[in-house]
A and B are shown apart, each in its own frame.
Chain A
Amino acid sequence: MPKLALVVFSGELDKAFVAFTIASRAAAEGWDVLMFFTFWGLGIIRDPDRSVQKTTQVEKVFDAALPRGADDLRISQMTMSELGTTLMKEQMSAKRMLPIREMMREAKEFGVRFLVCNIPMELMGIRKEEFVDEVDEICSVGRYLEEAKDADLNLFI
């Protein structure tokens, strides 16, 4: 079966939507799929109910600025303050699409693996205790490369 390695760098609703759709679509067909969350992508996998006391000022700023999980994401274009995000969420609901948090659960159900890059965690002071249960492992770029080098398809979103 083919293998897909997907780097999730972005932390916006529309990009997460595309990432989970492609990942689930491939995994559902039996592909070996891994998502490597890095930088702004870490906001997607934060669990809003699992906050951790931050120590430094910088950590506190990142904590406040990053989205608190998949239901807290905003769209990347047509933002119009908050209106664009609200409209997109309403439209997704009207078209009976799943919210991003549910898409994440579904991706897991189809067998997608969730890897998280350790570097942005260090830079932004994010702890593994803050992530949703879907996360399989915290790893280095080396580990990602090991997985990605034999993937048939590598995507960067």
Chain B
Amino acid sequence: MTDETLDCKGLICPRPLFETLKRLKKMEMGKTIEVIGDYPFSKSEITEAMDKMGQEVVVVSEEGGIWQIVIRKRR
């Protein structure tokens, strides 16, 4: 179970990434958020941005066109 969930289904680039970043900003250090979406480009965009920013990507999965990314706030 994650601390928070963000549903980005139906949103296209760059909205899923921007919404993820805005939520992360408000979260406490060490907390986790599950982001789900269906826009293909956003999956890699979010994971790459998190890596660059030093956030921990805990899980990346995809099933039936819906991806799920779990992030732990590290900074």
What residues of chain A have their CB less than 8 Å away from a CB belonging to chain B? 21, 24-25, 28-30, 95-98, 106, 109-110
Contact = CB atoms under 8 A, between A and B. Distances in A.
Contact of A109 (B12, B15, B22, B52): B22
B29 interface: no
Contacts of A97: 12, 15
Contact of A96 (B12, B17, B52): B12
A28 B12 contact: no
B18 A96 contact: no
B58 interface: no
B53 interface: yes
Given A25-B14, A97-B12, 17 more contacts: A21-B14, A24-B14, A24-B18, A25-B18, A28-B17, A28-B18, A28-B21, A28-B49, A29-B52, A29-B53, A30-B53, A95-B12, A96-B10, A96-B12, A96-B15, A106-B22, A109-B22
Contacts of B12: 95-97
What are the nearest 8 A-B pairs in CB distance? A28-B21, A95-B12, A96-B11, A29-B49, A25-B14, A29-B52, A29-B53, A21-B14
B52 A106 contact: no
State the main secondary structure of chain B at its contact with A: helix
Nearest to A25: B14
B75 to A, nearest CB: 10
Contacts of B21: 28, 110
Interface string B6-37: 00001110110110011000000000000000
A109 B49 CA distance: 17
A15 B67 CA distance: 31
A21 B14 CA distance: 8
Contacts of B17: 25, 28
Contacts of B53: 29-30
A74 to B, nearest CB: 23
Contacts of B15: 96-98
Nearest to B52: A29
Contacts of B14: 21, 24-25
A97 B19 CA distance: 11
